Amino acid sequence: MASLENSDSVSGQQPHPTFSLPAKRGMGVVYNSQKKSGGRPMARISCEMFKRLMMERGDEEFQVPTDNEFEIDLTVLEGDALRKKVLSIIHAQIPSWSDVNESGLKLDRLSGALTNCIFMVTAPPAAGGINSEPRKILLRIYGIGVDQLFQREKEIGWLKLLSQLSIGARLLGIFKNGRLEQYLESKTLTKEDIRDPQTSRQLARGLFEIHNISKLFPPSESDLHNL
């Protein structure tokens, strides 16, 4: 989740949310050494500054490996055949996993998804890497007929924007009927967890942050018309 910082409100003014994104040289912002995302230094910026930076960079930051030639048919593929197909997609879209072979790739199906089929994809640590923990990503395969319920292109577009704001899982790759995502260690909150004051504050900050996305990228007239 991206960082959110509220300045003291004065005269009824609304606090200004700030977001974190991977810091780049020449951005004119200060590194926050306490915030890390995938080993990258993070910088705190305001909504307006973020929007200006995105306009200056154009599509540079929005490029996600995409190949609509790849498709996973779960009615046909299973076991070793499924693992081989998944590995071919990973090799094509995630260069840092190029050393992974079929014997080192593990697929575990996760429960709880309503419209998609989700797998935890695990591989051994990278040779010579600092992290000794297994590598993990999520594989999301879209349900049959689900695309009729909403516009997939708009969903992907928003996911790319949210990735740049470091909100939620980072989008790693896209194929014809699914995508690869960053795996975030997490747990399902219980009612006792939600009642905890500190957790409740974090939830409120997260909701405030997400709702303010509309200030950065307001919906178009056509979007509003189709609501």
- Distance separating alpha carbons of residues 192 and 169, to the nearest angstrom: 25
Cα-Cα-Cα-Cα dihedral sign, residues 95, 140, 40, 59: positive
Residue 192 CB burial class (10 angstroms; 0-12, 13-18, ≥19)? exposed
Each residue's pLDDT expressed in tens, for the chain with a length of 227 residues: 333 333 333 333 344 444 444 433 332 222 233 333 343 333 444 555 566 655 555 555 568 899 999 999 999 999 999 999 999 999 999 999 999 999 999 999 988 777 889 999 999 998 877 778 899 999 999 988 777 777 888 888 888 878 877 778 899 999 999 999 999 988 888 999 999 999 999 899 888 877 877 777 766 666 555 54
Beta strands in 27-186 (DSSP E): 31-37, 40-46, 66-67, 106-110, 116-123, 135-142, 171-175, 178-182
The reported pTM is: 0.68
Domains of the chain, start order: 1-57 (no CATH), 66-182 (3.30.200.20)
